[in-house]
Structure 1
Amino acid sequence: MIEIDVLGPLTVRNDGEEILGLSVGTKRLIAFLALRPRGARLAISGEMWPDVTERRASDSLRSALTRLEDAIKPAITMTPAGLGLAPGVIVDLNVAQASARRLLQPGRASTVDDLSTRAIEAFASRILPDWYDEWVLSEVEDWRQLRLHALEAQAELLILEGNLRAAAWAARAAMRVEPLRQSAIVSLIKVHLAEGNQSEALRDFDIYKALLQKELGLEPTSLLTQLVEPLRR
């Protein structure tokens, strides 16, 4: 079984063992197919090499395919029309996206794994940090929005379950993704209040308020201030 991780640094494993020594061309192709599981060769080459002629881009793709290492060949299906990942290849991003959608879809029950520390770590991870290809960056924003909502949903559900430590971790992870996002700090303050840590709730509120004022010149909304107002009294 081949697994491809694109949340964080690119990692490829076969039966649990990391495949080392992959060429730059192979890594780029594997990463592309992990983000775009199937496509026509012409479309793939055009996205991967956008700054060269169509013919040269096609030649570059053909060269990358001929130089594929034996260990990675089973991960890719090749036809004259297109390329794709072979059936059974697992991409961590796909797993995390499915988990996030379960958390966010009304009436759809989340699983134990959806609230696990592994899921929190996945949602806290960026797609291929330090990769700046346009085909990577186009996926980053969609994932950023989805994982923010998923982390906040995790925090709320974990609070209800009484797993306050994991709930705080999820809320803080959301704040690291978007420090100015009010819904994330609301989740964190709810955790503090559930734990009885009033001083922590006030401290994090004050930090957020100062940051919001400094960066945007705004004040927290009543939704947030009403959470801590009784503590001031």
Structure 2
Amino acid sequence: MDTAVLPSHVRLLGPFRLECAAGAVRVTPSGQRLLAYLGLQHTASRTVLAGTLWPDVTEEHARGSLRTTLWRLNRGRRSVVEARGDTLALSGGVQVDVHAFNRTALQLVNVPETFGEELPLDLFSCGDLLPGWGEEWVMFERERLHQLKMHAIESLSTLLAGRGRHALALEAALTCVRMEPLRESAHRAVVAVHLAEGNVVEAYRHYEAFRRLICDKLGVEPSERFRSMLPTCRYG
């Protein structure tokens, strides 16, 4: 690898990618897992990394594999991983897409009013964390990010509806419904947009479709919070 190649981005949402200005950089499977772990956890000791990434071999073998992986990652290019004593971390100039996602999603959930005209509509197309990876540390983070994404898109739907952008607000709410068909808060977001736009019949129709769905699937009724959105309904 040419020494001018300076890896600058680790992409973990969707298939793994290590990128530089010239494009994608080829990384071995063990290198991908090392960069992914550090990208998610920020820092880790050599002992933790070796035991987590090579759990089925001896400690000596695992540490040897870690040394080899680090050498392959850093040879012929600026260091992607840096050591701080026994602790390893991604180099300071390397950005991770998960971190940017976290900041944006949490801002949408906690302080949506701080967004100006430019809203983070790219959340719609944001992929799942490392699809196909079955490691426990990946699956835990995947579920956490999935739930955060759901809350963020629901907040985005509310924000868009409040600004009169009903078509996009409805698309955001329906995106959540497609992701989790039994999630009541997603269906409440759909009904809220219909009501904000004055489409009362559409709101009733969607509520009734959801009521039938969870009655058939779970044997339960929508919550009182959902029912109270349509106070003139006569259900149940």
TM bracket (short chain)? 0.7 to 0.9
Counterparts of 1:108-119 in structure 2, within 5 Å, are 109-112=113-116, 115-119=119-123
Counterparts of 1:51-90 in structure 2, within 5 Å, are 51-68=56-73, 70=75, 73-90=78-95
Q: How many residues align?
A: 229
Counterparts of 1:82-231 in structure 2, within 5 Å, are 82-105=87-110, 109-112=113-116, 115-122=119-126, 125-228=127-230, 230=232
Alignment of 1:25 with 2:30, yes or no, is: yes
The residue number in structure 1 matching 2:8 is 2
By how many angstroms is 1:136 displaced?
0.5
- Residues 31, 72 of structure 1: CA spacing in aligned structure 2 closer, same or farther, 3 A cutoff? farther
By how many angstroms is 1:80 displaced?
4.4
Between the aligned partners of 2:134 and 2:122, the Cα distance in structure 1 is: 26
Instruction: Name the SS of the counterpart of 1:64 in structure 2.
Output: helix
Structure 2, unaligned stretches of length 5 or more? 1-6
Instruction: Name the SS of the counterpart of 1:104 in structure 2.
Output: helix
Contact kept? 1:100, 1:114, Cα under 8 Å: no
Q: How large is the RMSD of aligned CA atoms in angstroms?
A: 2.6
Specify the code of the residue in structure 1 equivalent to 2:120.
Answer: S
By how many angstroms is 1:205 displaced?
2.4
- Residues 26, 228 of structure 1: CA spacing in aligned structure 2 closer, same or farther, 3 A cutoff? same
By how many angstroms is 1:69 displaced?
6.1
Specify the code of the residue in structure 2 equivalent to 1:134.
Answer: E
Contact kept? 2:80, 2:91, Cα under 8 Å: yes
Between the aligned partners of 1:138 and 1:58, the Cα distance in structure 2 is: 25
Specify the code of the residue in structure 2 equivalent to 1:77.
Answer: E
Between the aligned partners of 1:52 and 1:210, the Cα distance in structure 2 is: 52
By how many angstroms is 1:92 displaced?
1.1
- Residues 47, 185 of structure 1: CA spacing in aligned structure 2 closer, same or farther, 3 A cutoff? same
Specify the code of the residue in structure 1 equivalent to 2:178.
Answer: R
- Residues 42, 194 of structure 1: CA spacing in aligned structure 2 closer, same or farther, 3 A cutoff? same
By how many angstroms is 1:225 displaced?
2.6
Larger radius of gyration, structure 1 or 2?
A: 2
Looking at secondary structure, tell me which structure has more helix per residue.
1
TM normalised by structure 1 equals 0.85
Instruction: Name the SS of the counterpart of 1:50 in structure 2.
Output: coil
- Residues 72, 171 of structure 1: CA spacing in aligned structure 2 closer, same or farther, 3 A cutoff? farther
Identity of paired residues, percent?
32
Between the aligned partners of 1:113 and 1:71, the Cα distance in structure 2 is: 44
